[in-house]
Amino acid sequence: MQHKTTLLAVKDMEKAKAFYQSVLGLEVLLDVGANVELTGGVSLQTADSWAKFIRRPESEILFSSNAMELYFETDDIDSFLERLEAFADIEYLHPLMEHSWGQRAVRFYDADYHIIEVAESIVMVTKRFIASGLSLAQTAKRMDVDAAYIQTLLGQ
């Protein structure tokens, strides 16, 4: 079995497409009106058509559940944050934070209150620690992973 896509019900397809294209840089692969397939394994479905598919009233399509997120990584979190700040209507769950293992991340809502996380790629976290003067063993300890994993991330 292979995971193909994550489907999100949306209230306004055009607004949702614009968000994912402009904020996250995803591209439309297929647009059939009520369903849009984007790059990155994300699909959008109008809430009314989704309700029909699952045989539930549209009133049962709940937004802002805070029970899941779409997770993205970037090699340049600082540039992404600069781009994100250009969008005045972004509602943040939290500003940039650093997890205990050193990965920096930001979480915010899309137009339908689905949580989006954009984090620094784990390879970049590793490179940042090595560049700061930490040894391979110190980096592994800081990230709470095995040193062999760090070597794999660095292509050694």
The token pair at 92 is 């943040």
Query: How far apart are alpha carbons 118 and 71 in whole angstroms?
Result: 6
In tens digits, what is the pLDDT along the chain, a chain of 156 residues? 999 999 999 999 999 999 999 999 999 999 999 999 999 999 999 999 999 999 999 999 999 989 999 999 999 999 999 999 999 899 999 999 999 999 999 999 999 999 999 999 999 999 999 999 999 999 999 999 999 999 999 987
Where along the chain do its domains lie? 122-156
Within a 13 Å sphere around the CA of 69, how many CA atoms are in the beta-carbon half?
Answer: 15
pTM value is: 0.92
